[in-house]
């Protein structure tokens, strides 16, 4: 019980030192365009929050991410099950996956700009692409890891193919799939900034670049802070979902 206030105290102390260093650095640098004081940044953050600008851009970005991740899950999870269950399916699909996987989502930007133009589709496509591979690979691994004895036991009891899938394979693969979804989220949240920076008229990445061009540095810092906070909150939410969906798999989620 006494651990929590102590942890809080340590965090506060660390942040105190961090802000003090930042403030001293800002005095030494003396160029508010490059490094504004921490107070200026907090003020900008407060202003942007009060005017609703941050929440507006953050919700646009979050919606795009949700859409992309949902699409990635809908495509990658069934495909992963198919590839995990059938060697033949894997032999067909795997080379294509391994051919595309090393090409990072960012490298698709110029081509995707031509195909989709500037707008909503481009960031969604990039995030879908980036999130697809971790989910697929983790699903395949999860299905493969299913205890062969469980499968044999279920078959011995004369279970049908569909119940086998629902009652044995899915619960067994789900924890690994959830880890894949968290990895996919991290990757697509990192890619969203690049995608919006170049190819979208709205969203957090766009806002950062917009205020950089206007040389309103405190607002740039405020939006960067917002990206970190929203990313952190989403990861907390996913961890919570992981705990609720797969309570039998405590500990699989600690992969750093």
**Contact positions toward another protein, by CB under 8 A?**
10-11, 13-15, 17-18, 33-35, 88, 91-96, 99-100, 102-111, 113-114, 189-194, 197-198, 205, 208-209, 212-213, 217, 220-221, 224, 227-229, 231-232, 235, 256
Closer to another protein by CB, 169 or 227: give it. Answer: 227
CB of 165 to another protein, least distance (A): 24
Phi, psi at residue 37, to the nearest 5°?
-70, 155
The residue count for the chain:
256
**Cα–Cα distances in angstroms (integers) from residue 137 to residues 143, 209, 240, in the given order:** 10, 34, 22
Q: Which is nearer to another protein, 33 or 162 (CB)?
A: 33
The DSSP code for 220 is H
CB 132 within 8 A of CB 72: yes
In this complex, which beta carbon is closest to another protein, that of residue 91 or of residue 248?
91
SS3 label, residue 157 = coil
Q: Which structure tokens are listed for 82? A: 């198919």
Task: Find the shortest distance in angstroms from Cβ 94 to another protein.
Answer: 7
| CB-based contacts of 183, cutoff 8 Å, min separation 6 | 134, 138, 255
Residue with Cβ nearer another protein (37 or 170)? 37
Would you say 74 or 118 has its CB closer to another protein?
A: 118
Of 178, 154, 180, which Cα lies nearest the Cα of 167?
Answer: 154
């Amino acid at each position: 019980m006494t651990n929590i206030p102590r942890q809080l105290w340590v965090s506060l102390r660390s942040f105190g030192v961090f802000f003090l260093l930042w403030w001293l650095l800002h005095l030494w640098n003396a160029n508010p365009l490059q490094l504004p004081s921490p107070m200026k940044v907090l003020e900008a953050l407060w202003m942007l929050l009060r005017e609703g600008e941050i929440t507006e851009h953050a919700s646009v970005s979050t919606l795009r991410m949700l859409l992309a991740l949902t699409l990635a899950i809908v495509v990658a999870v069934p495909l992963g099950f198919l590839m995990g269950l059938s060697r033949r399916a894997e032999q067909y699909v795997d080379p294509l996956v391994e051919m595309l996987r090393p090409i990072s989502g960012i490298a698709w930007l110029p081509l995707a700009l031509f195909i989709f133009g500037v707008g909503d589709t481009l960031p969604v496509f990039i995030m879908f692409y980036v999130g697809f591979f971790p989910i697929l690979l983790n699903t395949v691994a999860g299905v493969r890891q299913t205890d062969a004895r469980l499968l044999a036991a279920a078959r011995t009891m004369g279970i049908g193919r569909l119940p086998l899938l629902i009652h044995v394979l899915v619960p067994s693969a789900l924890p690994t799939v959830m880890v894949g979804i968290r990895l996919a989220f991290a990757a697509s949240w990192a890619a969203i900034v690049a995608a919006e920076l170049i190819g979208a008229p709205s969203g957090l990445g766009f806002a950062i670049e917009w205020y950089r061009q206007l040389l309103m540095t405190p607002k740039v810092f405020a939006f960067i802070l917002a990206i970190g906070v929203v990313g952190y909150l989403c990861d907390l939410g996913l961890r919570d979902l992981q705990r609720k969906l797969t309570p039998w798999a405590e500990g699989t989620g600690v992969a750093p």
